A and B are shown apart, each in its own frame.
Chain A
Amino acid sequence: MMEKTLTQLLITVLLFFGALFALQQVNWVSLFKVQQITDKTEEKLGDLLWETFKASETENTNPILVKSIDSIVSKISEANDFDKEFFKVHLLNSDEVNAFALPNGHLVIYTGLISDAEHQDELVGVIGHEMAHIQMQHVMKKLVKEIGFSVLISITTGSAGGEIVKQAAKTLSSSAFDRSLEKEADIKAVDYLTNANVNPAPFADFLYRLSLADSQLPSIVSWISTHPDSKERAEYILEYSKDKSTDFKSILSEKTWESMKEKLTF
Protein backbone atom coordinates (compact mmCIF):
# COMPACT_ATOMS: atom_id res chain seq x y z
CA MET A 1 0.00 0.00 0.00
CA MET A 2 2.83 2.32 0.96
CA GLU A 3 4.64 1.57 -2.29
CA LYS A 4 1.52 2.28 -4.35
CA THR A 5 1.02 5.62 -2.59
CA LEU A 6 4.63 6.64 -3.18
CA THR A 7 4.49 5.65 -6.86
CA GLN A 8 1.30 7.64 -7.36
CA LEU A 9 2.77 10.58 -5.47
CA LEU A 10 5.85 10.52 -7.68
CA ILE A 11 3.75 10.34 -10.84
CA THR A 12 1.55 13.22 -9.64
CA VAL A 13 4.55 15.41 -8.79
CA LEU A 14 6.12 14.60 -12.17
CA LEU A 15 2.81 15.36 -13.87
CA PHE A 16 2.57 18.71 -12.08
CA PHE A 17 6.10 19.82 -12.93
CA GLY A 18 5.82 18.37 -16.45
CA ALA A 19 2.66 20.37 -17.10
CA LEU A 20 4.23 23.44 -15.48
CA PHE A 21 7.37 23.17 -17.60
CA ALA A 22 5.39 22.63 -20.81
CA LEU A 23 3.01 25.50 -20.13
CA GLN A 24 5.84 27.86 -19.23
CA GLN A 25 7.29 27.36 -22.73
CA VAL A 26 4.27 29.09 -24.27
CA ASN A 27 4.70 32.81 -24.84
CA TRP A 28 1.61 33.85 -22.85
CA VAL A 29 2.88 37.41 -22.43
CA SER A 30 2.65 38.02 -26.16
CA LEU A 31 -0.46 35.84 -26.53
CA PHE A 32 -2.35 37.91 -23.97
CA LYS A 33 -0.86 41.13 -25.41
CA VAL A 34 0.48 42.01 -21.93
CA GLN A 35 3.22 44.24 -23.32
CA GLN A 36 0.85 46.22 -25.51
CA ILE A 37 -1.56 46.78 -22.62
CA THR A 38 1.28 47.80 -20.28
CA ASP A 39 2.75 50.14 -22.91
CA LYS A 40 -0.64 51.74 -23.55
CA THR A 41 -1.19 52.29 -19.82
CA GLU A 42 2.27 53.81 -19.48
CA GLU A 43 1.74 56.00 -22.53
CA LYS A 44 -1.56 57.36 -21.25
CA LEU A 45 -0.20 57.90 -17.74
CA GLY A 46 2.89 59.70 -19.00
CA ASP A 47 0.87 62.05 -21.19
CA LEU A 48 -1.67 62.71 -18.45
CA LEU A 49 0.99 63.47 -15.84
CA TRP A 50 2.93 65.71 -18.20
CA GLU A 51 -0.31 67.62 -18.95
CA THR A 52 -0.67 68.19 -15.19
CA PHE A 53 2.77 69.80 -14.96
CA LYS A 54 2.27 71.74 -18.16
CA ALA A 55 -0.98 73.20 -16.86
CA SER A 56 0.43 74.34 -13.53
CA GLU A 57 3.89 75.53 -14.59
CA THR A 58 5.43 77.45 -17.47
CA GLU A 59 7.28 75.52 -20.12
CA ASN A 60 10.49 77.08 -21.39
CA THR A 61 10.66 76.83 -25.17
CA ASN A 62 13.79 78.88 -25.75
CA PRO A 63 15.38 77.17 -28.79
CA ILE A 64 18.95 77.38 -27.47
CA LEU A 65 18.00 75.73 -24.19
CA VAL A 66 15.73 73.11 -25.72
CA LYS A 67 18.16 72.21 -28.51
CA SER A 68 21.12 72.00 -26.16
CA ILE A 69 19.32 69.65 -23.80
CA ASP A 70 18.14 67.63 -26.80
CA SER A 71 21.71 67.23 -27.97
CA ILE A 72 22.74 65.97 -24.51
CA VAL A 73 19.93 63.38 -24.56
CA SER A 74 20.72 62.46 -28.19
CA LYS A 75 24.40 62.00 -27.45
CA ILE A 76 23.73 59.75 -24.43
CA SER A 77 21.12 57.80 -26.44
CA GLU A 78 23.46 57.29 -29.40
CA ALA A 79 26.37 56.22 -27.22
CA ASN A 80 24.21 53.66 -25.41
CA ASP A 81 22.02 52.44 -28.30
CA PHE A 82 18.77 53.87 -26.95
CA ASP A 83 15.88 54.95 -29.11
CA LYS A 84 16.27 58.68 -28.68
CA GLU A 85 12.75 59.35 -29.95
CA PHE A 86 11.44 57.64 -26.81
CA PHE A 87 12.76 60.41 -24.56
CA LYS A 88 10.50 63.45 -24.46
CA VAL A 89 12.41 66.22 -22.75
CA HIS A 90 10.58 69.19 -21.23
CA LEU A 91 12.07 72.28 -19.64
CA LEU A 92 10.08 74.10 -16.97
CA ASN A 93 10.70 77.57 -15.54
CA SER A 94 11.36 77.28 -11.84
CA ASP A 95 14.08 78.17 -9.33
CA GLU A 96 13.78 74.65 -7.91
CA VAL A 97 16.88 72.52 -8.46
CA ASN A 98 15.00 69.51 -9.76
CA ALA A 99 14.67 67.01 -12.58
CA PHE A 100 12.49 63.93 -12.74
CA ALA A 101 11.22 61.18 -15.00
CA LEU A 102 7.58 60.48 -15.83
CA PRO A 103 6.16 57.34 -17.46
CA ASN A 104 6.60 56.80 -21.21
CA GLY A 105 9.97 58.54 -21.43
CA HIS A 106 8.94 62.05 -20.34
CA LEU A 107 11.91 63.76 -18.73
CA VAL A 108 11.25 67.06 -16.93
CA ILE A 109 14.05 69.46 -16.10
CA TYR A 110 13.72 72.71 -14.12
CA THR A 111 15.71 75.76 -15.19
CA GLY A 112 16.88 75.98 -11.56
CA LEU A 113 18.92 72.82 -12.08
CA ILE A 114 20.77 74.27 -15.09
CA SER A 115 21.40 77.48 -13.20
CA ASP A 116 22.80 75.61 -10.22
CA ALA A 117 25.11 73.38 -12.26
CA GLU A 118 28.63 74.80 -12.24
CA HIS A 119 29.73 72.61 -15.10
CA GLN A 120 27.68 71.19 -17.98
CA ASP A 121 28.79 67.65 -17.08
CA GLU A 122 26.94 68.03 -13.77
CA LEU A 123 23.72 68.58 -15.72
CA VAL A 124 24.61 65.70 -18.06
CA GLY A 125 25.06 63.48 -14.98
CA VAL A 126 21.61 64.32 -13.62
CA ILE A 127 20.05 63.79 -17.06
CA GLY A 128 21.87 60.44 -17.32
CA HIS A 129 20.55 59.48 -13.87
CA GLU A 130 16.95 60.28 -14.87
CA MET A 131 17.38 58.48 -18.21
CA ALA A 132 18.55 55.44 -16.23
CA HIS A 133 15.33 55.54 -14.17
CA ILE A 134 13.40 55.53 -17.46
CA GLN A 135 15.51 52.79 -19.09
CA MET A 136 15.37 50.55 -16.03
CA GLN A 137 11.56 50.87 -15.80
CA HIS A 138 11.84 52.40 -12.33
CA VAL A 139 9.11 54.96 -12.94
CA MET A 140 6.24 52.51 -13.40
CA LYS A 141 7.58 50.30 -10.60
CA LYS A 142 7.49 53.24 -8.22
CA LEU A 143 4.00 54.30 -9.24
CA VAL A 144 2.65 50.76 -8.89
CA LYS A 145 4.24 50.48 -5.47
CA GLU A 146 3.12 53.85 -4.12
CA ILE A 147 -0.18 54.42 -5.87
CA GLY A 148 -1.25 50.85 -6.63
CA PHE A 149 -1.93 49.11 -9.91
CA SER A 150 -5.72 49.40 -9.74
CA VAL A 151 -5.55 53.15 -9.11
CA LEU A 152 -3.17 53.58 -12.06
CA ILE A 153 -5.63 51.76 -14.31
CA SER A 154 -8.46 53.97 -13.02
CA ILE A 155 -6.38 57.06 -13.88
CA THR A 156 -5.90 55.90 -17.46
CA THR A 157 -9.55 55.03 -17.91
CA GLY A 158 -10.50 58.45 -16.60
CA SER A 159 -12.48 57.20 -13.62
CA ALA A 160 -10.01 58.55 -11.05
CA GLY A 161 -10.38 62.10 -9.74
CA GLY A 162 -7.96 64.95 -10.39
CA GLU A 163 -6.60 64.67 -6.86
CA ILE A 164 -5.24 61.18 -7.56
CA VAL A 165 -3.51 62.39 -10.73
CA LYS A 166 -1.95 65.24 -8.72
CA GLN A 167 -0.82 62.78 -6.07
CA ALA A 168 0.84 60.62 -8.73
CA ALA A 169 2.53 63.71 -10.18
CA LYS A 170 3.76 64.75 -6.74
CA THR A 171 5.08 61.24 -6.03
CA LEU A 172 7.26 61.34 -9.12
CA SER A 173 8.45 64.94 -8.86
CA SER A 174 9.18 65.21 -5.16
CA SER A 175 9.97 61.85 -3.65
CA ALA A 176 12.92 59.54 -4.09
CA PHE A 177 12.97 56.00 -5.42
CA ASP A 178 14.09 53.14 -3.20
CA ARG A 179 17.69 53.38 -2.17
CA SER A 180 18.57 50.36 -4.32
CA LEU A 181 16.87 51.86 -7.38
CA GLU A 182 18.68 55.19 -6.83
CA LYS A 183 22.00 53.41 -6.60
CA GLU A 184 21.22 51.40 -9.73
CA ALA A 185 20.36 54.63 -11.59
CA ASP A 186 23.58 56.29 -10.36
CA ILE A 187 25.74 53.40 -11.50
CA LYS A 188 23.92 53.17 -14.84
CA ALA A 189 24.34 56.95 -15.27
CA VAL A 190 28.11 56.54 -14.85
CA ASP A 191 28.05 53.84 -17.55
CA TYR A 192 25.98 56.02 -19.88
CA LEU A 193 28.27 58.98 -19.32
CA THR A 194 31.51 57.08 -19.86
CA ASN A 195 30.06 55.44 -22.99
CA ALA A 196 29.41 58.96 -24.25
CA ASN A 197 32.94 60.00 -23.20
CA VAL A 198 31.60 62.37 -20.55
CA ASN A 199 33.44 62.67 -17.26
CA PRO A 200 31.22 61.34 -14.43
CA ALA A 201 33.25 63.09 -11.70
CA PRO A 202 31.34 66.42 -11.98
CA PHE A 203 28.11 64.47 -11.34
CA ALA A 204 29.58 63.27 -8.05
CA ASP A 205 30.79 66.82 -7.31
CA PHE A 206 27.29 68.11 -7.93
CA LEU A 207 25.80 65.64 -5.44
CA TYR A 208 28.46 66.44 -2.90
CA ARG A 209 28.02 70.19 -3.27
CA LEU A 210 24.25 70.00 -3.02
CA SER A 211 24.45 67.76 0.02
CA LEU A 212 26.20 70.66 1.73
CA ALA A 213 23.78 73.23 0.36
CA ASP A 214 20.81 71.12 1.31
CA SER A 215 20.93 72.15 4.97
CA GLN A 216 21.08 75.82 4.04
CA LEU A 217 18.57 75.99 1.22
CA PRO A 218 16.09 73.21 1.80
CA SER A 219 13.21 74.89 0.02
CA ILE A 220 14.66 75.15 -3.45
CA VAL A 221 16.98 72.19 -3.67
CA SER A 222 14.33 69.56 -4.31
CA TRP A 223 16.35 67.06 -6.31
CA ILE A 224 18.87 66.57 -3.58
CA SER A 225 16.46 66.59 -0.64
CA THR A 226 14.45 63.88 -2.36
CA HIS A 227 17.58 61.85 -3.03
CA PRO A 228 18.97 60.99 0.40
CA ASP A 229 22.56 60.25 1.35
CA SER A 230 24.02 62.41 -1.42
CA LYS A 231 27.46 62.35 0.11
CA GLU A 232 27.53 58.57 0.15
CA ARG A 233 26.26 58.54 -3.43
CA ALA A 234 28.99 60.96 -4.54
CA GLU A 235 31.52 58.59 -2.99
CA TYR A 236 30.35 55.41 -4.67
CA ILE A 237 29.98 57.20 -8.01
CA LEU A 238 33.62 58.29 -7.79
CA GLU A 239 34.66 54.82 -6.68
CA TYR A 240 32.79 53.16 -9.55
CA SER A 241 34.10 55.58 -12.19
CA LYS A 242 37.70 55.31 -10.98
CA ASP A 243 38.79 52.78 -13.60
CA LYS A 244 36.86 54.30 -16.48
CA SER A 245 38.48 55.96 -19.48
CA THR A 246 40.08 59.34 -18.94
CA ASP A 247 39.69 60.63 -22.47
CA PHE A 248 36.61 62.70 -21.65
CA LYS A 249 35.01 65.42 -23.73
CA SER A 250 31.99 67.59 -22.88
CA ILE A 251 28.95 67.28 -25.15
CA LEU A 252 28.25 70.99 -25.59
CA SER A 253 30.79 73.62 -26.51
CA GLU A 254 31.75 76.08 -23.75
CA LYS A 255 30.07 78.81 -25.79
CA THR A 256 26.74 76.95 -25.97
CA TRP A 257 26.87 76.23 -22.23
CA GLU A 258 27.49 79.92 -21.51
CA SER A 259 24.61 81.04 -23.72
CA MET A 260 22.36 78.45 -22.07
CA LYS A 261 23.11 80.02 -18.72
CA GLU A 262 22.34 83.48 -20.12
CA LYS A 263 18.98 82.46 -21.56
CA LEU A 264 17.66 80.98 -18.31
CA THR A 265 14.37 82.28 -16.92
CA PHE A 266 12.65 81.24 -13.72
Chain B
Amino acid sequence: MIHIKQFSYEPGDHESEKASNSYLMSLIAIIAGLPFPIINLLATLIFYVGNRKSTYFVRWHCTQALVSQVSMLFINSVAFWWTIGIIFGDETLTNNYFGYMITAFIFNFTEFIATIYTAIKARKGIHVEWWLYGPLTNLICKPR
Protein backbone atom coordinates (compact mmCIF):
# COMPACT_ATOMS: atom_id res chain seq x y z
CA MET B 1 0.00 0.00 0.00
CA ILE B 2 2.83 2.37 0.84
CA HIS B 3 6.15 2.48 -0.98
CA ILE B 4 9.33 4.20 -0.03
CA LYS B 5 10.88 5.45 -3.24
CA GLN B 6 13.91 7.35 -4.32
CA PHE B 7 12.96 10.97 -5.03
CA SER B 8 14.58 12.70 -7.99
CA TYR B 9 16.82 14.69 -5.62
CA GLU B 10 17.77 14.74 -1.94
CA PRO B 11 15.38 17.18 -0.16
CA GLY B 12 16.83 19.67 2.31
CA ASP B 13 15.79 19.85 5.97
CA HIS B 14 13.59 22.87 5.40
CA GLU B 15 11.72 21.08 2.59
CA SER B 16 11.26 17.94 4.66
CA GLU B 17 9.64 19.97 7.42
CA LYS B 18 7.20 21.67 5.07
CA ALA B 19 6.32 18.38 3.33
CA SER B 20 5.72 16.72 6.68
CA ASN B 21 3.54 19.66 7.77
CA SER B 22 1.18 19.14 4.83
CA TYR B 23 0.19 15.80 6.37
CA LEU B 24 0.08 17.18 9.89
CA MET B 25 -2.28 19.83 8.58
CA SER B 26 -4.86 17.20 7.70
CA LEU B 27 -4.39 15.47 11.06
CA ILE B 28 -4.99 18.67 13.00
CA ALA B 29 -8.01 19.37 10.81
CA ILE B 30 -9.45 15.94 11.66
CA ILE B 31 -9.48 16.91 15.32
CA ALA B 32 -10.75 20.45 14.73
CA GLY B 33 -13.37 19.68 12.17
CA LEU B 34 -14.39 16.11 12.90
CA PRO B 35 -18.11 16.45 12.21
CA PHE B 36 -17.58 18.52 9.07
CA PRO B 37 -15.57 16.59 6.49
CA ILE B 38 -15.15 19.67 4.29
CA ILE B 39 -12.86 21.30 6.89
CA ASN B 40 -10.20 18.63 6.33
CA LEU B 41 -10.18 19.28 2.63
CA LEU B 42 -10.13 23.07 3.10
CA ALA B 43 -7.19 22.90 5.50
CA THR B 44 -5.15 20.77 3.09
CA LEU B 45 -6.23 22.95 0.17
CA ILE B 46 -5.11 26.14 1.91
CA PHE B 47 -1.75 24.54 2.70
CA TYR B 48 -1.47 23.34 -0.89
CA VAL B 49 -2.20 26.79 -2.32
CA GLY B 50 0.29 28.34 0.13
CA ASN B 51 3.04 26.00 -1.08
CA ARG B 52 2.30 26.10 -4.82
CA LYS B 53 5.54 27.93 -5.52
CA SER B 54 7.61 25.82 -3.17
CA THR B 55 10.17 23.16 -4.15
CA TYR B 56 9.17 19.97 -5.98
CA PHE B 57 9.41 17.75 -2.87
CA VAL B 58 7.11 20.06 -0.85
CA ARG B 59 4.64 20.47 -3.71
CA TRP B 60 4.58 16.73 -4.33
CA HIS B 61 3.66 15.90 -0.73
CA CYS B 62 1.14 18.73 -0.45
CA THR B 63 -0.53 17.31 -3.56
CA GLN B 64 -0.58 13.75 -2.21
CA ALA B 65 -2.13 15.01 1.06
CA LEU B 66 -4.73 16.98 -0.93
CA VAL B 67 -5.82 14.24 -3.34
CA SER B 68 -6.18 11.78 -0.48
CA GLN B 69 -8.46 14.26 1.29
CA VAL B 70 -10.68 14.71 -1.79
CA SER B 71 -11.67 11.03 -1.87
CA MET B 72 -12.20 10.97 1.89
CA LEU B 73 -14.47 13.99 1.51
CA PHE B 74 -16.91 11.95 -0.60
CA ILE B 75 -16.91 9.01 1.82
CA ASN B 76 -17.25 11.21 4.89
CA SER B 77 -19.89 13.53 3.43
CA VAL B 78 -22.20 10.56 2.87
CA ALA B 79 -21.51 9.38 6.43
CA PHE B 80 -22.14 12.89 7.77
CA TRP B 81 -25.44 13.55 5.99
CA TRP B 82 -26.71 10.01 6.60
CA THR B 83 -26.11 10.53 10.33
CA ILE B 84 -27.81 13.94 10.25
CA GLY B 85 -30.78 12.25 8.53
CA ILE B 86 -31.02 9.76 11.37
CA ILE B 87 -30.78 12.35 14.14
CA PHE B 88 -33.04 14.99 12.63
CA GLY B 89 -34.92 13.30 9.80
CA ASP B 90 -36.92 10.22 8.97
CA GLU B 91 -33.94 7.89 8.51
CA THR B 92 -33.56 4.96 10.89
CA LEU B 93 -30.61 2.89 12.04
CA THR B 94 -30.22 0.05 9.55
CA ASN B 95 -27.65 -2.64 8.76
CA ASN B 96 -26.76 -0.65 5.64
CA TYR B 97 -25.97 2.39 7.77
CA PHE B 98 -23.77 0.45 10.18
CA GLY B 99 -22.07 -1.34 7.27
CA TYR B 100 -21.32 2.01 5.62
CA MET B 101 -20.06 3.61 8.82
CA ILE B 102 -17.70 0.70 9.52
CA THR B 103 -16.39 0.75 5.93
CA ALA B 104 -15.90 4.52 6.19
CA PHE B 105 -14.10 4.02 9.50
CA ILE B 106 -11.75 1.40 8.02
CA PHE B 107 -10.85 3.69 5.11
CA ASN B 108 -10.44 6.71 7.39
CA PHE B 109 -8.34 4.75 9.86
CA THR B 110 -6.07 3.42 7.12
CA GLU B 111 -5.63 6.93 5.78
CA PHE B 112 -4.98 8.24 9.29
CA ILE B 113 -2.21 5.71 9.95
CA ALA B 114 -0.70 6.33 6.49
CA THR B 115 -0.78 10.07 7.17
CA ILE B 116 1.10 9.76 10.47
CA TYR B 117 3.62 7.36 8.96
CA THR B 118 4.23 9.58 5.94
CA ALA B 119 4.50 12.73 8.07
CA ILE B 120 7.27 11.09 10.10
CA LYS B 121 9.09 9.76 7.03
CA ALA B 122 8.75 13.01 5.08
CA ARG B 123 10.20 14.90 8.04
CA LYS B 124 13.33 12.75 7.64
CA GLY B 125 13.42 13.55 3.94
CA ILE B 126 12.22 10.07 2.94
CA HIS B 127 9.89 10.00 -0.04
CA VAL B 128 6.75 7.90 0.50
CA GLU B 129 4.27 7.16 -2.28
CA TRP B 130 0.85 5.85 -1.38
CA TRP B 131 -1.21 3.29 -3.25
CA LEU B 132 -3.29 5.11 -5.88
CA TYR B 133 -2.52 8.62 -4.56
CA GLY B 134 1.20 8.27 -5.35
CA PRO B 135 0.77 7.57 -9.08
CA LEU B 136 -2.06 10.13 -9.17
CA THR B 137 0.22 12.77 -7.63
CA ASN B 138 2.93 11.89 -10.17
CA LEU B 139 0.41 12.69 -12.91
CA ILE B 140 -0.57 16.03 -11.38
CA CYS B 141 2.70 17.26 -9.91
CA LYS B 142 5.65 17.64 -12.28
CA PRO B 143 9.11 19.05 -11.63
CA ARG B 144 9.65 22.54 -13.04
Contacts and interface: CB of A to CB of B under 8 A. Distances in A.
B103 A28 contact: no
A2 B138 CA distance: 9
B135 A24 contact: no
Contacts, number: 65
Interface string B66-105: 0000000001000000000011111001111011101100
21 contacts: A1-B135, A2-B139, A5-B135, A9-B136, A16-B103, A20-B99, A20-B100, A20-B103, A23-B98, A23-B100, A24-B99, A24-B100, A28-B99, A28-B102, A29-B95, A29-B98, A32-B98, A34-B93, A141-B90, A145-B90, A149-B87
B117 interface: no
A26 B131 CA distance: 28
Interface in A112-148: 141, 144-145, 148
A19 B93 contact: no
B70 to A, nearest CB: 12
Interface of A: 1-2, 4-5, 8-9, 12, 16, 19-29, 32, 34, 38, 141, 144-145, 148-150
B98 A9 contact: no
A24 B106 contact: no
B107 interface: yes
Indicate the size class of the contact surface on chain B: 20 to 34
B90 A24 contact: no
B132 interface: yes
B49 to A, nearest CB: 23
A8 B88 contact: no
Contacts of A16: 75, 103, 107
Nearest to B132: A8
Contacts of A20: 99-100, 103
Contacts of B103: 16, 19-20, 23
Contacts of A26: 95, 98-99
A30 B110 CA distance: 27
A8 B90 contact: no
Contacts of A150: 87
B132 A12 contact: yes
Nearest to A20: B103
Interface in B115-132: 131-132
Interface in B45-61: none
A72 to B, nearest CB: 30
B45 to A, nearest CB: 21
Contact of A23 (B75, B89, B93, B99): B99
A204 to B, nearest CB: 28
Contact of A9 (B88, B100, B132, B138): B132
A29 B93 contact: yes
A55 to B, nearest CB: 31
B88 A1 contact: no
B117 to A, nearest CB: 18
Nearest to B100: A20
Nearest to B97: A28
A24 B96 contact: yes
A16 to B, nearest CB: 7
Give the 9 A-B CB pairs with smallest separation, nearest first: A24-B99, A28-B98, A23-B99, A8-B132, A5-B135, A20-B103, A19-B103, A34-B93, A4-B135
Contacts of A12: 131-132
B84 to A, nearest CB: 11
